[in-house]
Amino acid sequence: MTGRISECSLGAVIRDIRRETGATGLLRAGMYYALGGQYEQQQIAFQGVIAVFAAAVGLVFLLLLILHENLRMTLAILAIPLLAVAAVFVGLWMAGIELNISSMMGMTMNLGIVTELAIFFFSVFRHLVGADRPRCTRR
Residue 93 has a pLDDT of 92
Whole-model pTM? 0.66
Total number of domains constituting the chain = 1
The whole domain housing 73 covers 42-129
Residues 17-43 have a mean pLDDT of 76
Q: How much is the pLDDT for 130?
A: 74
Q: How distant is the alpha carbon of residue 8 from its chain centre?
A: 25
Q: Please report whether residue 27 resides in a domain.
A: no
What pLDDT is stored for residue 62 in this prediction? 93
61: in domain? yes
Domain-located, residue 78:
yes
How confident is the model at residue 137, as a pLDDT?
60
Nearest alpha-carbon partner for 61 in 111, 110, 103: 111
* Of residues 100 and 86, more confidently modeled: 86
Cβ(100)–Cβ(45) under 8 Å? no
- What average pLDDT does the segment 64-83 reach? 88
The reply to whether 81 falls in a domain is: yes
Domain presence at residue 115: yes
Q: Kindly state whether residue 109 falls inside one of the protein's structural domains.
A: yes
Confidence of residue 107 (pLDDT cuts 50, 70, 90): confident
C-beta separation of 88 from 103 below 8 A? yes
Q: Mean pLDDT across the stretch 56-67?
A: 88
In this structure, is residue 11 part of a structural domain?
A: no
Region 30-56: mean pLDDT is 83
Task: Say if residue 80's pLDDT is above 80.
Answer: yes
Which residues are CB-neighbours of 85 under 8 A, at least 6 positions away? 107, 110, 111
